[in-house]
């Protein structure tokens, strides 16, 4: 008489074999090899970089300070210390996301205090936040109209 666990072990072997079809694994490695080949070709033939963010001249700028917490909300203060935006009103939650990024970079760079940021608009219409304390900047593109507007309207 066969042992009941032997049958279960055979079932598990078959199940594991069928979990990821062989053709899918081959396709995955094929895509990795094709990507590596394309990058190698581009590097060896000195192809120009494509899809790289292009900056242009700054057309408007304001100094801002972000203060608060993700739980209580983040306030944007102007150069005089007056509140000009709050993350918990009018679809402005993206302000919290930017604040987390700024705080993280400042922690990694060991920046003390809360120095002001630069909010800029370029001639090409893009908006960016620049942190002079860490030389970090984030172009506000590709985050959706509402998220970009949370900062862009502060320059109008």
Segment 67-98, tens digit of pLDDT: 988 788 899 999 999 998 888 876 667 888 88
Neighbouring-strand partners of residue 74: 68
The 10 Å CB-count burial string (b at 16+, else e) for 10-42 is: eeeeeeeeeeeeeeeeeeeeeeeeeeeeeeeee
Query: What's the gap between Cα 126 and its chain centre?
Result: 16
Rounded CA separation 67/80 (Å): 14
Rounded CA separation 60/124 (Å): 12
What's the pLDDT at 7?
74
Over range 95-105, report the average pLDDT.
Answer: 90
Q: Cα separations (Å) of 156 from 46, 78, 88? A: 41, 13, 21
What's the pLDDT at 58?
92
Rounded CA separation 63/77 (Å): 9
Helix 145-152 vs helix 94-108: crossing angle, to nearest 10: 70
Q: What is the DSSP string of 58-74?
A: EEEEEEEEEEEETTTEE
- Beta-strand (E) ranges in 13-72? 58-69
Mean pLDDT, the chain, rounded, equals 85
Model pTM score: 0.65
Residue 147 pLDDT exceeds 80: no
């Amino acid at each position: 008489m066969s042992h009941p666990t032997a049958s279960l072990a055979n079932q598990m072997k078959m199940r594991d074999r069928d979990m990821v079809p062989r053709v899918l694994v081959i396709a995955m490695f094929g895509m990795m090899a094709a990507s590596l080949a394309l990058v190698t070709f581009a590097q060896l033939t000195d192809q120009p970089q494509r899809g790289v963010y292009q900056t242009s001249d700054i057309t408007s700028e304001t100094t801002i300070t972000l203060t608060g917490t993700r739980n209580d909300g983040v306030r944007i203060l102007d150069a005089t210390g007056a509140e000009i935006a709050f993350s918990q009103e009018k679809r402005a939650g993206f302000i919290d996301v930017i604040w987390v990024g700024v705080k993280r970079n400042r922690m990694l760079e060991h920046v003390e205090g809360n120095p002001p940021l630069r909010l800029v608009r370029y001639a090409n219409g893009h908006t960016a936040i620049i942190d002079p304390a860490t030389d970090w900047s984030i172009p506000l593109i590709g985050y959706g109209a509402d998220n970009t507007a949370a900062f862009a309207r502060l320059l109008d």
